[in-house]
Structure formats: structure tokens, C-alpha cells
Structure 1
Amino acid sequence: MEYTCIDSFCGAGGLGFGLEKAGYKILLSFDIDQLCINTIKANNQYFHHPAEVADIADMLSGKLLKKCGLKRGELFLLAGGPPCQGFSVQRRGSDLDPRNDLVLKYGKLINELYPCYFVMENVSGLGGKRGKTILEELIRSAEAIGYIVHVKLVDAQEYGVPQRRKRYIIIGERQDIHSFYEYPKVSDARITVRDTIGKLPEPPVDGTDYPGISWHRRDKLSELNLKRINALKEGQGRDDLPFELRADCHKVNSSIIGYRNVYGRMAWDEVAPTITARFDSFTRGKFGHPDQPRSISLREGALLQTFPMDFIFTGNKVDVARQIGNAVPPVLAEQIGRSIITCYEKAVNVGDI
């Protein structure tokens, strides 16, 4: 059996990389972001499949089937994480974000391809006020064409990722497969910040890469932010800053206005906070290095997302931080991928397929 896969909304390839390690043959990756496609093509030590710039609308009406030389029902797995900013709990404003519609277009692609399984990753906000209606519509449409849909909010730290990261993992299995899907078992063990980046050398003070380690450089902090980070011990956040060093908007306790974990340092012997698309900024989260006067480097963020040390990222600093922060951690993706294959093979062995 060849476990074929199409990686839609592929981003920098975190989901695809994990699925490849789990034993899948990726037929195609596509994303609307040229830089993400450049990143996948740059990593030919890991990826050997076609990758192209495309909107999901470009793949509907039978175009993706034709492009991959498939008939409806032949694909084993359709994978993807439609952009999730419209559901983010951090987002304010209208619920009519056009990106929300991408989840429903993903549902249309599921219908056209009719794979044995599909997997969709999205932020925890998908189950909240903004996303719940759309998630329910996706589930109804998939069930109507013969899928059993499983929905679980998982925390990546329970699956070998050194980071608190809650995301919905939605698995659909065709009813004719009879595989009775089960999510991978959680682990009580935790991989810490120290385990992951503790042995990296300190990057140069001049802002250049440490020799031989791409994107391991320090971001320049303002004089005020340098005072702030030097006033903090590992694991501390903005509530621990001396009053005179707090931003004006933070002079009210975080229990009242929120945003506890900004202007903070990571703790060596805990998992990291969620690596976001702006983890390169000390002001955006608890992204300070545990004991050095700097934010974590882009390479350190990539390692906390479980990308390998030699994984190449293309674009400028902001582009790379976005690609890393938006990715599915490959270690989590690999476990999800393996769990699907395990359930399928159990069904084969008992003769249900």
C-alpha cells in the first residue's frame, strides 16, 4: 500500500515534513505564499515532490485530481491547515474575515478528492464563537458524503513538542474504511527549553549569524527593552518588572487587562510558550531567552517547533518568523500521520477493507 498525500495550505512544510517521516508519499504541496514554496524547494535534502504557488480555488473543479493524475477516491490522505487568523482568540473585529471561507473550500476539496482520510489543523479559536459555526458546517458536509469526523483539541507538549501549543486536529475517515480512528496516546514526559536549545552557543553581539548556524542571530533591543529583560529572571513576565519599567498600558495588573506573558523570559526547565508568527519580538510574548539579554533567535524558535537544525527558511526576518510560527510542529505531524496508518493497517489485518 502506498500512502499517498497532498499537502494543501502547506506553509513552510511542517505538516508535510512530519507526514513524510511517518511514511507518506507526498504528491504535491501547494500554498498561496511564494516564500513558503521557496522554502520547501530549498529543502531538497528532505523534500523530493513538486511544490507550487496556488490558491485553493485554483485546485477545485477537478483541477487537483487532473494535476496529480488521480481519480476520485484514490488518494489516501488530504492534509492541510487553512489560514487561521480569522479564528484567532487574539484577533478583534469583524467575524466576516474572508479567510474563514477557506475552511469551507477545504471541505469542497475533500468532496472532490474523496480521500481515504483527511486531516485539518487549526487554532483553538476554531471551536469558539468565531469558528464553531464554520467547523460544524465542515463536519456536516463531510458526514453527508460518508465520513466519520473526529475532533480533538490537542496540546503539542503532550506529543513530544517542547512547547505549549493547543490546536484542533480534525481527522476524517471514510466509513468504508472501518478503521475506527484513535488519536495517538499522550505522554507524561515533557521536553524542555533546556533540552532543546540549552546547548546552542550564544549568538554574536553584532547581529550576525553564529558561524555555521543559519538564523541564529540576536535581535537588537532598544535601550529600554534591554533594561526590562535584564530586570527579569527566567520564567518571569511583565508583572515582575519594576513599576517604572512597565509600559504605560501595563501599569494595570494583567489579571485585569490580560497579556500576562509579554515582556517575559522563557524558563529553562519548562516547555516554551506557543511559538507565534511574531516570536522574534520580546514585546510580543514570553520570548526572551532564559538567561541571555535577548529574544530567542529564529533558529531557536524553529527548534522549539521541532524543525531540524539544517532546515532552510527563505525570506527576510519577519517572513521567516511567520513561516516558523504558523507551522505545524513536524513531531506532532509525524505522530498524527503514524496514528492514521496504524488504524488503517489494523482494519486491513482484520479484513474490514
Structure 2
Amino acid sequence: MKIVSIFSGVGGIDCGFKSAGFDTVFANDNWPVACESFGLNYPSAEVYCGSIADVDFRAVKEKYGTIDGLVGGPPCPPFSKSRFYRTEKKRGIEDEAGFLTVSNYFRALEELDPRFFFFENVAGFVFKPHAAALEFVKERSEALGYKITYKVVNAANFGVPQLRQRFICIGVKKDMPDFIFPQETHCEGGSDDKLPWVTCGDILNDIDFDLPEDESKRAGSKHKELLPLIPPGDNYLFFTAERGYPNPIFKWRSRYWSFLLKLSPQKPSWTIQASFSNNMGPFHWKNRFLRIQEIQRIQSFPDDYIFTGKFSDQWRQIGNAVPPRLVEILAQQIKTQYFN
């Protein structure tokens, strides 16, 4: 079962599909660091590092034969919630980068003509301000002979130790049965038919990094003295009048949610962002930065997965990825429905 991967990054989607038995034969990204990491993790795949606009997917198909699936998540900033507040920037496919990436996804689909495609993006892709982007996906899928099923899923509900919502769209040829999303396997607290969420304590308690940190780079930056006072699972709102703090330090909802955000060992992590910051969490409940090995596990990458580059590059590769465990479950569902 051969797939082509675009906007591949470090290969989170590919990792999930590989675990389900698929083989990436060609991948594309324009960030050299991510391309290097991808190549080390998938040595048998051809990796083209450059603009997707320069890729001739007909030539890829001619070289590798029938392609079963196209997978990828066009870069998400134009479709993110934060773009609602960045009024100086255009949204969705009105943004030049947003249109370039999404339109080239469907150019790849047209030229490869696979049996299915896997399209991933931020949950904001379904928000009303981005209606034009979702309509574009629907129209192009229809025009190319595919019917789609889409849903916003929470990775934590599929065994990933992270509250991470993603828009997932599966397209299949019109003569194939409709794709049916797999049932969720986990929920908060568990239930008669679901397991409890996997927590940070479940996956991180065997990692011990209690080493002294550089005083100039301590977690919390100039507010580093406040971080130890915040209970695990809380953030800067702990220091507001609304939460009963006797001498309020911050105003209610005056900062990003992740400001001084601390993990709880009894809960999944919040979304791991692509950018590393000295005062934006999540931080470890032991009042320190998370390490690469830790966010790697939070994203459900295998421990032996390779990330190249400096610390911030590795963090960005992991934060940009789709959790492989979530993708594996979806890929297994595709395999069961269409390849067995």
C-alpha cells in the first residue's frame, strides 16, 4: 500500500500510516531540517526538499506506479484561531500561503489519482470565518471524483496523552463505500466502554531530568519565581482576583492560555505548540521546561524516532506534527475498510 506524503514535516502522519502497514514512497517539505529528519526515519522514501509548486506528481506516479493514498496537512497558520485576532493578516485561503498550500494539495491529488486521501488541519478549519476554505475542499474533491467524510477529533479520545483537536478529512473514490470514522477509545475518567484518558504521569514518570537549569533560561522567564506557586494543571489565572488570589498579579484573561501553564500528572497535556518559549507552557509539574524526549512522548512518537537540528528545531518538528497514534488508528480504519 503505497502513499505519497506532502507537507510532510518530520513525518507524524507517515509514522502512523507506517504502523498500519503503509509505505511512503515519496515525501515533500520545504524545510531542510525536517527533510533531513524525515530521510533518517524513512530511508527508503524519496524526499524532495523544496516548494510543492515545483513537484511534478505525474512524474512521481510514473516512477512509482499506482499510488494508493495521498496524505498531508497543509501548514495551518492561515486557518488557526489566532488568525482571528491578527487583523493585519488575511484568513484561510484568502491568505496567499493558505491558497497556495491547499490548491497544491488538490493538484497533487489530481495528478496522482489515488484511491484515497488524508487531509489534516487545525480544528479552526471548520470555523465559519474559514467557510470558503472548507467549501474549496468540498468542491475540488467532488470535481476530482472523490466523496469526503470529515470530523474534528480530539487526540486524547484515541489514547494520545494530549488534548489536541484536529480537523481530519478522508476522501475516497465515489465508487467506494463511505469512510466511517473509528469509535473513540478513551474519555475523561473512563466509562463502561471507554478507557480513561492517558495522562502525562502515565508516560513521563519514568523520565527523570531533575538537573539544575541555566538561571538565565529558567522556566517562566521574568515570572520564574511565580511558576512554583501554581498548582499542577493551572496557569497564570491562579494569580487573578476572580480565582480569589489575595493580591492579584494578573488581570483575568489578559494573557494567552498557555502563559505559565503547568502540566498535571493526572491529566493529558494541552496542545504542544510548534514554537518554544520561556514563559509559555506547558511546563513540567516540577517547574521546568519539558525536554524533547517528553514532548516526543506527549505527541506519541516512538522513543527511537530521530529529530535533527538544534533544540528549537526539534521542538518545532514535534509541535507541528500530527500525533502518530491518532493517525495509526485512522490509517488502520482505512486499511480495514478498503484494503482487506
- TM-score band (shorter)? 0.7 to 0.9
Structure 1 pair 251/220, CA: closer, same or farther in 2 (3 Å)?
closer
- Distance across 2 between alignment mates of 1:233 and 1:160: 25
Structure 1 pair 222/192, CA: closer, same or farther in 2 (3 Å)?
closer
Q: Which amino acid aligns with 2:26?
A: L
1:344 positional shift:
0.6
Q: 1:269 aligns with which of 266, 270, 286?
A: 266
Cross-structure match for 1:54: 50
- Distance across 1 between alignment mates of 2:23 and 2:329: 16
Whether 2:68 is the aligned partner of 1:76: answer: yes
Q: Which amino acid aligns with 1:267?
A: S
- Distance across 2 between alignment mates of 1:258 and 1:316: 28
1:141 positional shift:
1.3
| Aligned residue-pair number | 318
Whether 2:307 is the aligned partner of 1:310: answer: no
Alignment check: 8 A CA contact 1:219 1:297 kept = no
Superposed CA offset, 1:130-185 (max 9, x none)? 43212211211111221111111111001111001111000000012x23211111
How much is the aligned-residue C-alpha RMSD, in angstroms?
Answer: 2.3
Q: Which amino acid aligns with 2:51?
A: D
Whether 2:337 is the aligned partner of 1:343: answer: yes
Cross-structure match for 1:22: 20
Alignment check: 8 A CA contact 2:17 2:327 kept = yes
Q: Which amino acid aligns with 1:6?
A: V
- Distance across 1 between alignment mates of 2:221 and 2:79: 35
Structure 1 pair 109/223, CA: closer, same or farther in 2 (3 Å)?
closer
1:345 positional shift:
3.7
Cross-structure match for 2:206: 199
1:111 positional shift:
1.3
Superposed CA offset, 1:67-117 (max 9, x none)? x333xxx31110011111111101313224222111121112111111100
**2:70 partner SS:** strand
Whether 2:284 is the aligned partner of 1:284: answer: no
Structure 1 residues 324-343: aligned runs within 5 Å: 324-343=318-337
Cross-structure match for 1:166: 165
Q: Which amino acid aligns with 2:313?
A: D
Q: In structure 2, list runs of 5 or more residues that go unmatched.
A: 187-194
- Distance across 1 between alignment mates of 2:98 and 2:61: 24
Identity of aligned residues (%): 28
1:267 positional shift:
0.8
Alignment check: 8 A CA contact 2:221 2:278 kept = no
Q: In structure 1, list runs of 5 or more residues that go unmatched.
A: 208-217, 347-353
Superposed CA offset, 1:281-304 (max 9, x none)? 35223x1111x1212112211110
**1:51 partner SS:** strand
**1:171 partner SS:** strand
Cross-structure match for 2:257: 260
1:129 positional shift:
4.0
Whether 2:329 is the aligned partner of 1:322: answer: no
Superposed CA offset, 1:248-277 (max 9, x none)? xx72212xx463342121111111001111
Structure 1 pair 241/295, CA: closer, same or farther in 2 (3 Å)?
farther
Cross-structure match for 1:211: none
Cross-structure match for 2:294: 300
Alignment check: 8 A CA contact 1:7 1:26 kept = yes
1:222 positional shift:
6.3
Structure 1 residues 80-91: aligned runs within 5 Å: 80-91=72-83
- TM-score by length of structure 1 reads 0.84
Structure 1 residues 65-144: aligned runs within 5 Å: 65-66=61-62, 68-70=63-65, 74-91=66-83, 92-93=86-87, 94-95=89-90, 96-101=94-99, 102-144=101-143
Alignment check: 8 A CA contact 1:262 1:282 kept = no
- TM-score by length of structure 2 reads 0.87
Alignment check: 8 A CA contact 1:263 1:284 kept = yes
**1:131 partner SS:** helix
